[in-house]
Amino acid sequence: MKTTSYSSSPQRSRFTNISFVRRLKKSIIVESIAILYMSMFLYSAASKLSDYTMTREQMALMPLLTPIANITVWLLPATEITIAIVLFFHQTRKAGLYTATILMFLFTIYITYMMFFYPSLPCSCGGLLDVLSWPGHLIFNGVFIALGILAIKTHNKINYEHNKK
């Protein structure tokens, strides 16, 4: 009498491979978005620090930042670098995605405030981002917020599927 082993059946193997491919695709999405966030934050921090004097002067012009411009000019790049480091490690990536997305949301609130009350003031975002208009910044931030939410949801699905087994 012949016994059938389900663990080695082609049907089971096919489903296992499909599950693996789905997890792999989801992991690639999360990794790609994390890399985009890391690149953006590191570029922004490097731009601010490399032109420290200009960044400090621009931050001093910002109405909400004037009293704390000397602290913010160091604190903001340090925060961006820290978030990039947190995103780099798999163990802390989820926290990094949440933090990065929340920071982008806070930047968006600030940009909206600036756009309505001080539209002529320059941006101190650093590098190529300085050439964006305030509405351009809103679009840029909106894209990164959407990517952050997608990465968080996808990361949660990967963990749920992994823990479900």
- Walk along the chain (165 residues) in steps of 10 and give the mean pLDDT of each run: 51 65 90 98 93 87 86 95 98 98 96 87 74 88 98 87 57
Q: Are 104 and 148 in contact (CB under 8 A)?
A: yes
Per-residue model confidence (pLDDT) at position 118: 84
Per-residue model confidence (pLDDT) at position 114: 86
Burial 79-90 (b: 16+ CB within 10 A, else e): ebbebbebbeee
Per-residue model confidence (pLDDT) at position 36: 98
CA dist., res. 49 & res. 72, Å (int): 11
